């Protein structure tokens, strides 16, 4: 069964450092999302990406965040200067329109 793959599974970084979280969506999917889940809290939408551009973003997705699909297969989330409050589980999701979203296993980001 096809699946969304995220790497790394766990990343520890120092405050102020840049991190890149990587996702390989399912190959024929067209819509890509990043969500995050701070420990003990609800899953929150960050950004959606379609046709090589951001289609929607939440207020969480400020100038510190960026997304890219550099090579037609990977989908990355970059945080330029991490803060303690960026510590969370980050989920990538992909889908074809009007079907369910397929989620990756997540990357646990710990900012110290």
Partner 1 sequence: AQSVTQLGSHVSVSEGALVLLRCNYSSSVPPYLFWYVQYPNQGLQLLLKYTSAATLVKGINGFEAEFKKSETSFHLTKPSAHMSDAAEYFCAVSLVGAGNMLTFGGGTRLMVKP
Q: Interface residues with partner 1 (CB under 8 A)?
A: 31, 33, 35, 41-45, 48, 50, 55-56, 91, 93, 95, 97-98, 100-106
Least distance to partner 1 from the beta carbon of 56, Å?
A: 6
DSSP secondary structure of 10-29 = EEEE-TT--EEEEEE--TT-
Of the pair 75, 91, the CB lying nearest partner 1 is at 91
Q: Which is nearer to partner 1, 8 or 16 (CB)?
A: 8
Q: Quick one: 89 exposed, middle or buried, by C-beta within 10 A (0-12, 13-18, 19+)?
A: middle
**Is residue 10 a contact partner of residue 110, using CB atoms and an 8 Å limit?**
yes
- Cα separation of 111 and 109, whole Å? 6
Nearest approach, Cβ of residue 39 and partner 1 (Å): 12
- Closest distance to partner 1 from the beta carbon of 97 (Å): 7
Closest separation in Å from C-beta 55 to partner 1: 6
């Amino acid at each position: 069964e096809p699946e969304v793959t995220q790497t790394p599974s766990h990343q520890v970084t120092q405050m102020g450092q840049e991190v890149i979280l990587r996702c390989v969506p399912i190959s024929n999917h067209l819509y890509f999302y990043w969500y995050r889940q701070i420990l003990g809290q609800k899953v929150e939408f960050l950004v959606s990406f379609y046709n090589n551009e951001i289609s929607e973003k939440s207020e969480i997705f400020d100038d510190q965040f960026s997304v890219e699909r550099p090579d037609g297969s990977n989908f990355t989330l970059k945080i330029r200067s991490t803060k303690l409050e960026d510590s969370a589980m980050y989920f990538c999701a992909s889908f074809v329109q009007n079907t369910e979203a397929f989620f990756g296993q997540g990357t646990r980001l710990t900012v110290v």
